Each structure stands twice: as C-alpha cells, then as structure tokens.
Chains A and B, each alone.
Chain A
C-alpha cells in the first residue's frame, strides 16, 4: 500500500523552529517529486513547497521563502520541512503529498501551532 506518514508537528512560540518529517512506503520513493501542502484551521489548501525526486530542485511559496527549507533523504524514504522564524499565520495542518500530474497520495497531516 502506498502511504505517507507525517510527524514532527507541535506547539511552538513565534520565532521558533520545527522540523517536519514524512515517511513514504509502498512506492519507489526517489522516483517521485513530493510537496508540502498546508491547511489553516477551517480554511482552504495552500501549497508550501516542493522537491524533485533527486532533491536537486526545490520550490517554495512566497509566503515561506527564506524561512522554510525542504529536503529529502532517499536512503531513508523520508521528506523533511525545516521551518524557521515561525509566525502565527503558519499555524496549520501540514500534509505531505506525492506528485504525478497531480497530488495523488496524501498523508494524514501533522498539526503545527504557533502561539505564545
């Protein structure tokens, strides 16, 4: 079964840092681009960042550029999102998603709350 499982969310103070992880299984991890998509409570979906299968190309939404860093370790079948300088508006459920010509597989998400 193709599966993505996120972890690493939690409560963090404004200005703090957090690293999210996403473990993939059931598919050839290194062959697929992956993305992080977030959803603030009661709101819609926002693409945050994406990375190519090799990890050589990365992409960011303007809202997180310079603060978040996406990376992957294909030997561990794991995707990461390093989040620095967190703001209240970063509070959201963060999903990782596998890419084809769409986001075809989604994890269950990990919640990040930025609050003092």
Chain B
C-alpha cells in the first residue's frame, strides 16, 4: 500500500499570509503513460464532507479560488494557499489516486493565528 504522510499536523497562519502543507508518498504516484501525478487535495470543513480542491497534483477543480495551488511530482507535493481567508479554516487531506487501496494523508488542521 502507498503510505501518505502530511506535514505539519496542524498549522496556524495569519489572515492574508501564505499557508503551505506538504505531502509525501511512500512511492511515486506519477503515471508514466500520461505523465500525470495522481495526487489529490481535499478540504474538509467542520461537519461537512470533503471537497475536491486539486487533482493531478496541480489542476484546480472548477470553482476553486485561485489562491489555492498545488505543486510537486513523484513523491513530494505541496498545497499552497497564497493569502489565507477566514473561510479556509479546515482540515486538508492529500490522497493518492494512483492505485487501490487509495490512501489518504492523516490530515493537516489549518487555523487562523
């Protein structure tokens, strides 16, 4: 199974500042046939189901604000929120969609400082 590890476990950032969350997979999630990284980011607000933010490591889902961006390849990935807004308070999860069993990181709780 591919193990997904996020860092940090929690993060407090001031409004308007940059937030960065890291995700590392135990093996590459780069699919060589199409050169796409099957790495996904979700946002989960309290009492709600997860919401898809980014897939293929860096492609923003329709309707997701452009302050959210994803980067990385192979085994190391980053989610960046360029200017934190109050509504971004949530738990963020990375997930590999490369192979079953699909696996998630443990989550990063993002709060306002």
Contact = CB atoms under 8 A, between A and B. Distances in A.
A103 interface: yes
Contacts, number: 57
A24 interface: no
Nearest to B31: A101
Contacts of A35: 102
Given A102-B55, A107-B49, A50 B100 contact: yes
Interface residues of B, number: 24
Nearest to A103: B52
A102 B95 contact: yes
Interface string A97-109: 0001111101111
Q: Interface of chain A, helix or strand or loop or mixed?
A: strand
A88 B49 CA distance: 22
3 nearest interchain CB pairs?
A106-B49, A102-B55, A102-B40
Interface of B: 1, 36, 38, 40, 42, 44, 49-52, 55-56, 61, 93, 95, 97, 100-107
Interface of A: 35, 44-47, 50, 59-62, 95, 100-104, 106-109
13 contacts: A44-B104, A44-B105, A45-B107, A50-B102, A59-B101, A61-B101, A95-B49, A102-B40, A103-B50, A103-B95, A103-B97, A104-B61, A109-B49
Given A101-B38, A102-B97, A103-B52, 18 more contacts: A35-B102, A44-B105, A45-B44, A45-B93, A45-B95, A47-B104, A60-B101, A62-B1, A95-B49, A95-B50, A100-B55, A101-B36, A101-B56, A104-B55, A104-B61, A106-B49, A106-B50, A109-B49
